[in-house]
Chain A
């Protein structure tokens, strides 16, 4: 049995604009364990959102998934039909977006929108279905219904059941008086409350995978703390796997178990949270750590910024995307992108300095060079 909820293999996604091809995601692979929380960190334009939009098959013209495989619970999402992905979207994979103001429809009540999602995707539980079937008097009909139940064909929730479920989930995410609040419109909620509504909506169909695209960036720190606590609780209680996209290393450290560091459409480094924070192997990850204030108490150390600016994806560097800004860059870095080198069982770094032929540079522990 495969232990991974999500496996992305050699994914390439591009946008074909009239100015040329924008290579947003260039050959990316990473995976997420069942029930785990994976953090994807990167700057704007690093391809972190496009990767997950590709997973949801939400890339629209002129964008296209050029290459690669995305396995969700064993199913390759790039190969299935549009109607099949629509069944998975919202029921098995849900997404929370950054801006809670624009991702809910302002002209419908919360009830309207939540009930729609639940009735589209949810079917009644097996126990309830069998109970209902046993009430049927006609033996032949009952047999047929029970057979259908075995095949997984159960009826969808009716309006009352869907409403009850919606209210339950609003309560779960900590909205006070959900029976009253559910009848209100989005503008009657504050930013933090709207984000909670979105989370409730995303969870209401018990997805196996929740993709959170910078869900706390637009919120204040005190509200952010509430939302992060909520996500942790959900992961623990419902066993939902979570992919959390952010640019804030603090949030990653707080929430995630595994981390993927992206830059210029490529994976620079991946590993467990302790590896990424306490023994970062890639110069970019190290640079990120040095450019943020580490301690909020104690002595002030001057920040060491990463000079230069992120690459132009229209015309990305031929080799490693980070090479123009890297202080260790060698000739090979400019010519060819480095493969992901295994450092430990869980940590991989895409840097030529990890190669067995690389010179020794201060601050680097070379691994065995296993590719």
Chain B
């Protein structure tokens, strides 16, 4: 496993959305959509990202492709830095400055200038460290030469993701023209070729999106993503808006394309049985954190994290007898809010095994068994390892 080539690496990725500021501009309410996740995607594999709505899986995909600027953390593509966030350092600076102000006010009137200077010195040192970090990050960001062609995206809603005023030809050719990959008649040839590759016909090129069914539109979206020869495709719930009988068509096609073009997929979905079917490795997210990362077969056979255990046991199987046999771990309560989350493990409130440190300290994602990463304080006791 170790010697496989890493295509995408995400280090301590964070994306926070500020939803409320006070009159001084300080952040009062922040949605911690993605809160420090680490994972690698190897060349040629399919990495599935699963979780319930609001867990940050789509935000992760959108941050990787650059639709959102990451708050903190770094993203490497082909071992080159493509995005580096430093907003958190800036936040920290303003926080430190505030703290200093308050501390100065709190000092008794009898305090000498010396004491004040000491305090200022202490804080200035901290602030300078952060400033340096920001400076470094800025320098790094300047050097980034990002090739947007390398990563492409397929969206969930095939009705909203295609411009209704453009013909299929224009939609697919747009990327080719923007990146000046081809000129003149060869563009049309390429479009026809792509259309046939995704199971549509040449004649479809001159039509508009509204003339197609949901499944066909998703095929157009896939052709558009393929048009610029990407290396990584981020598929954000590509099949959840489609009918059951159409889903299999699209999934099979994605698999064929992967083989033919050597693509790597980041497959984001909430349909756990489909994710299992298509993915080589899977990351399970809960409220902005990765709970478990593992190869897909062992994950489904023996989930280690208590959240993964209950999530997998909640899937209704298309097999009446199996449902009678299997024991269900029904989670109590709802997903708590990602706004200003409490310290400790994000899952602690709904966890059957939560105690003590679960509520105070956030667990790290550690390799428990070879190739299996779990973020849980008590994973060993729970699973008798």
Can you name the residue of chain B whose Cβ is closest to the Cβ of A229? B330
| Chain A residues with CB under 8 A of B335 | 190, 220
Indicate if A306 sits at the interface (CB-CB under 8 A): yes
Contact check, A273 vs B274: say whether CB atoms are below 8 A apart. Answer: no
Instruction: Tell me the smallest distance from the CB of B7 to a CB of chain A, in Å.
Output: 22
Instruction: Given A291-B245, A291-B247, verify A273-B277 contact (CB < 8 Å).
Output: no
Instruction: Tell me, in angstroms, the Cα distance from A135 to B249 when the chains sit together.
Output: 71
Indicate if A302 sits at the interface (CB-CB under 8 A): yes
A-B contact count (CB 8 A): 125
Indicate if A294 sits at the interface (CB-CB under 8 A): yes
One digit per residue, 1 when the CB lies within 8 angstroms of any chain A CB and 0 when it does not, for chain B 325-363 equals 000101100110000000000000000000000000000
Surface stretch bound by A, among B11-19, B72-80, B114-122, B306-314? B306-314
For the A-B complex with A44-B243, A254-B323, A305-B249 known, give 13 more contacts whose Cβ atoms are closer than 8 Å: A220-B52, A222-B52, A222-B331, A223-B52, A223-B334, A247-B244, A248-B316, A291-B248, A292-B244, A293-B273, A303-B248, A303-B251, A309-B246
Contact check, B323 vs A221: say whether CB atoms are below 8 A apart. Answer: no
Contact check, B330 vs A253: say whether CB atoms are below 8 A apart. Answer: no
Indicate if A193 sits at the interface (CB-CB under 8 A): yes
Contact check, B252 vs A305: say whether CB atoms are below 8 A apart. Answer: yes
Out of B244, B245, B248, B300, which one reaches A297, CB within 8 Å?
Answer: B300
The 4 A-B pairs with the shortest beta carbon distances in the complex, nearest first, are: A250-B316, A305-B248, A291-B248, A220-B52
Instruction: Tell me, in angstroms, the Cα distance from A293 to B216 when the chains sit together.
Output: 22
Indicate if B104 sits at the interface (CB-CB under 8 A): no
| Chain B residues with CB under 8 A of A250 | 273, 315-318
Can you name the residue of chain B whose Cβ is closest to the Cβ of A290? B248
Instruction: Given A226-B330, A293-B277, A296-B276, verify A253-B244 contact (CB < 8 Å).
Output: no
Instruction: Tell me, in angstroms, the Cα distance from A167 to B123 when the chains sit together.
Output: 56
Indicate if B96 sits at the interface (CB-CB under 8 A): no
Out of A221, A229, A292, which one reaches B52, CB within 8 Å?
Answer: A221
Contact check, A221 vs B243: say whether CB atoms are below 8 A apart. Answer: no
13 contacts across the A-B interface (CB closer than 8 A): A190-B335, A225-B314, A225-B330, A225-B331, A247-B243, A290-B248, A292-B248, A292-B273, A296-B317, A303-B251, A303-B252, A305-B247, A309-B216
Contact check, A193 vs B334: say whether CB atoms are below 8 A apart. Answer: yes
Instruction: Given A226-B330, A293-B273, A297-B297, verify A307-B317 contact (CB < 8 Å).
Output: no
Instruction: Tell me, in angstroms, the Cα distance from A192 to B300 when the chains sit together.
Output: 25
Indicate if A43 sits at the interface (CB-CB under 8 A): yes
| Chain A residues with CB under 8 A of B277 | 293, 300, 303
One digit per residue, 1 when the CB lies within 8 angstroms of any chain A CB and 0 when it does not, for chain B 296-307 equals 010011000000
Instruction: Tell me the smallest distance from the CB of B196 to a CB of chain A, in Å.
Output: 16
Interface size class of A (residues with CB under 8 A): 35 or more
Instruction: Tell me, in angstroms, the Cα distance from A365 to B359 when the chains sit together.
Output: 59
| Chain B residues with CB under 8 A of A307 | 249
Instruction: Tell me, in angstroms, the Cα distance from A300 to B280 when the chains sit together.
Output: 11
B-facing residues in A296-319 (Cβ within 8 Å): 296-297, 300, 302-307, 309-310
Indicate if A289 sits at the interface (CB-CB under 8 A): yes
| Chain A residues with CB under 8 A of B213 | 309-310
Indicate if A277 sits at the interface (CB-CB under 8 A): yes
Indicate if B320 sits at the interface (CB-CB under 8 A): yes
